[in-house]
Structure 1
């Protein structure tokens, strides 16, 4: 770290920068690419472009380099901020459960750390040709104040470095002066005006989006899967594909199986890409599926992100629904419920057979895995000690599946599967808990000083809500299980996922005990089955 300058040297540096004499000083450029271009600006009629207009990395770097070198300084590298807003605030959760809102600028704050140290220590610095990451950094150059910040809190952090560490931060217009009190006061006024402009632009954008949303007008961008390019009329081939996927999921088929078959048959997204887990979940969970207008904050779950009218009803979009609402809600529960399969549980090899994720080891209690063998055969086997199992139990998968299938036939012949869906009994309790949570949040908003008492209560209620949601998801999964009155005839037409669902619904546990020594044939007595009551 470089030693701080004494008062005399500080004043000399300030005088030199004000005279635009940068000889002997090493400057790095801050290049910020914004996603907040002004949509009401008439660029063709503007004779002079400002930093706010230049949204190209190469141009910003070239202009700042030329400015520093023209004044005798040395341009040593760049701090690159892609797709970064200098004004928009993000919500940050605190340890006590409350939130604060801040402009997120990790690259800029890394540059400020480097200026305090006099050299790159943050890892954000990109050296120019001929320099390395250990080069000295005396100051920072930007196109203009707009590229530096539009947020007053950020400006004060920059002023701290210029005032207390005497590190110049300059722009190519020569008007940015953060080394003197008058210059800092002038910058504060300009940032206040820029922030007001950003706020007004954001407000106009929000009003425009809301105005289109209440009319059900579709948003821009790529066409959604299931609709045509006008985003209003159905693409009948894709709509049939979506409805079929919903029926299969309600019949117990895992969506990883559906995606695998779609990709194997050459069915692609609207962008021409293969189907992925996240793409499918976002599509099926979107309120657009039932014809509702998607609108709401990004921090809400997608299936809850739709606009409500003055009567508390979802706003209808200018496009028809594909599945009906009850079907969609049951699909959403499968995709987003608390006991949904996680991403590492949907891999092809982990649930490739009927009893995958169900059958357990009788020696250590761990779930058995599938071990493929030649000629289409496989074993259910316990993992080794290194993977958390005992490695002492193994059995023929084909024989075990056949035995469990016969048990299912016998059980369902005696107890026919009901075809009547029963409602979940905890809906009222869930509504009460959600109302309690809203009431507690309102109390905190009115009296933040009570946060130490309110947030523990909120966490208790959230735990109750999570438990109820898991219970509801389990209920809906059971309601979505395959239902037939002639299981023997229907069995050959069921896919592995559906057979697994039936097995899980009929047995509390399926346990494979260790084999006796000296026996090469599978002994059915090794299986221990606990039926569901």
Structure 2
């Protein structure tokens, strides 16, 4: 260990000395000749110290706070608010100071600044998941503004049309903390003869020693960022074990302290859970909330996938959660993100230090309906017709698509048909039916289903009870007894985990059966009494129409029109009950 520390200290001292030499060499009195491209630059005599006649762009970083202030200033309506906005100190090295320093540096050496690249608060270190052209997954630092600056530098033209001869940034640490990105900058300097500088004078990519120094410093900066990331991760893990809420946007349903409930939002969430457990649709709930002007904690409109994420969060049941990154559940950089329940050393959920929204039993029932994690491709779609996804071809069972009528058909504006795909696209091409009339028929069929369900509910004296409640309770008691026996040393690890696996398997099966029973027992309980009138008069959004239609039918088969006899649109539709 002592040898390793000594080696690390000697390497750092060597780097420190190298940086000091570059600082001294970069003084204005010392000139370095660049291999300039005479086709793109006005003269080949320019040097790192002498920038006369050269046009530079600045790569400036916008912190979250400075970006907000700039937005207020540029809006033209909140100048006073921009001036009076309180400072937190997070933007102490803000955009204006970066630009002033870089401009003074360039102008003092005879050059001029022609453009400023404003880079948002993006990390120069953290990698993101990227899918390459061949379908493989790679991890890269995503910085589109930085890429745009290098691209313009290669062309020698700034976005405003001015000639671009070089780029300057506050320091090497801001230029990049990734060696792959640094090599791209080196390539621009070497191949196109356009310098990339920093205010400190330590960045010199025009010489071999300068490039070596930049590579070493970037590697150390990368390691420093990695070490900081590890420390932050350990801190969050400690907070998680104690059930302490952390920073970020407040969760919908809770106040800014992330501990106490927000009464109006809590009522909405609990009502949504009730509707979902009783056969309701998340799409309908979101449509109603959006119509009433209810927004997310970030001020956005509600979408079904967003509401699912809220309901999936273990916070709903009072449990501490942790974020899983990656499709395989591994905590790798990039990939999809979702949350899971944090378990302690004994396998029990860690209780969060906040008020729970619903009971753990109800939350488990919700997960049985919406799933524990997002499913790829399960987001909302862009279909614009009510029947797509529900209508099926009566000949080949392919889902029908909507086809707009061309002007030559002589149909009213907006007219369309539902038809089967051609043989080359997986269908038979043999079914076609009037679109508007089919939508009207689908409404009547769906409303009739809901009216029959309402009549059946009124005729039912009481809902049938679920018969597995006693067994579910017994399984929970057996699991608790096994855990107590294991802690007391009366049960071996092999026997305990074998029994636990059997108990958990039976518990999941019972919970799934209970939730299916709850849904079937209360199906369509909360369907509005005015559904038929609202639907027929066009008071429902397309999202609500599709949701009610998919609840009523698993599919609606469109039969061929037949020959020699005229069939109505209703005669050609054969609904398949969703139950």
**Greater Cα offset, 90-99 or 305-314:** 90-99
CA distance in 2, matches of 1:320, 1:169: 54
- 1:101 aligned residue: 139
Q: Contact (CA 8 Å) 1:35, 1:84: kept in 2 or not?
A: no
1:103-252 mapped onto 2 (5 Å cutoff) = 103-117=141-155, 119-120=156-157, 125-127=158-160, 132=161, 135-252=162-279
Q: Is the 8 A contact 2:553 2:577 kept in 1?
A: no
2:386 and 2:277 map into 1 onto residues whose CA distance is 21
Please name the residue that 1:504 is paired with.
553
Residues 408 and 383 (structure 1), Cα distance of their counterparts in 2 relative to 1, 3 Å cut = farther
Provide the rounded CA distance (Å) in 2 between the counterparts of 1:484 and 1:200: 54
Residue 292 of structure 1 deviates from its aligned partner by 2.3
CA distance in 2: counterparts of 1:267 and 1:401, whole angstroms: 28
Cα–Cα, structure 1 residues 155 and 366, in superposed 2: closer, same or farther, change >3 Å?
closer
Q: CA deviation at 1:220?
A: 1.9
Residue in structure 2 matching 1:29, options 51, 58, 76: 58
Structure 1 distance, partners of 2:514, 2:550, is 13
In 2, Cα distance between the equivalents of 1:517 and 1:225? 61
Partner of 1:317: 352
Count residues in correspondence: 429
Q: 1:421 to 1:139 in 2, by over 3 A?
A: farther
Equivalent position SS for 1:296? strand
Q: Counterparts of 1:203 and 1:271 in 2: how far apart (Å)? A: 28
Choose from 102, 110, 119 the match for 1:72.
Answer: 110
State the SS of the aligned residue for 2:245: coil
Offset, 1:144: 1.6
1:383 aligns with 2:410: no
Closer/same/farther in 2, CA of residues 518 and 399 from structure 1, 3 Å limit:
farther
* 1:28/1:140 contact within 8 Å kept: yes
| 1:69–1:517 distance in 2 versus 1, CA, 3 Å | farther
TM-score normalized by the length of structure 2? 0.60
C-alpha change, 1:91 and 1:107, in structure 2 (3 Å) is same
What is the distance in 1 between the residues matched to 2:202 and 2:178? 18
**Structure 2 contact 59–168 (Cα < 8 Å) conserved:** yes
Alignment partner of 2:51: what SS? coil
Q: Residue in 1 aligned with 2:427?
A: none
In structure 2, the CA distance between the partners of 1:26 and 1:331, relative to structure 1 (3 Å rule), is same
- Please list the CA deviations of residues 253-283 of structure 1 after superposition, one character each: whole Å capped at 9, or x if unmatched: 2222112333444544445665444542332
How far 1:205 moved relative to its partner? 1.5
Equivalent residue of 2:57, what SS?
strand
Q: Distance in 1 between matches of 2:295 and 2:301?
A: 5
Q: Structure 2 residue aligned with 1:307, among 311, 318, 342?
A: 342
Correspondent of 1:17 among 40, 47, 61: 47
For the 8 Å contact 1:515–1:526, the answer to whether it is kept is: no
Q: How far is the alpha carbon of 1:215 from its aligned partner?
A: 0.8
Q: What's 2:368 paired with?
A: 330
Q: Paired residue for 2:101?
A: 63
RMSD: 4.9
- What are the Cα deviations for residues 76-118 of structure 1, in whole angstroms up to 9, with x where unaligned? 223332122112222335678765433223333333333334x
Secondary structure of the 1:17 match is: coil
* 1:437-477: CA deviation from partner (whole Å, max 9, x where unpaired): xxxxxxxxxxxxxxxxxxxxxxxxxxxxxxxxxxxxx9999
The alpha-carbon distance between structure 1 residues 213 and 77, as it changes in their structure 2 partners (threshold 3 A), is same
User: CA offsets, 1:7-63, max 9 Å, x none?
Assistant: 9x99x95x8424x211122222222336799xxxxxxxxxxxxxx976433332332
Write the distance in 2 (CA, Å) between the matches of 1:476 and 1:512: 38
Secondary structure at the aligned position of 1:182 is classed as helix
CA distance in 1, matches of 2:296, 2:366: 20
Asked if structure 2 preserves the Cα contact closer than 8 Å seen for 1:361 and 1:368, the reply is no
User: Distance between the aligned counterparts of 2:393 and 2:259, measured in 1?
Assistant: 53
User: Unpaired runs of 5+ in structure 2?
Assistant: 1-34, 67-89, 330-335, 403-414, 423-430, 470-511, 533-543
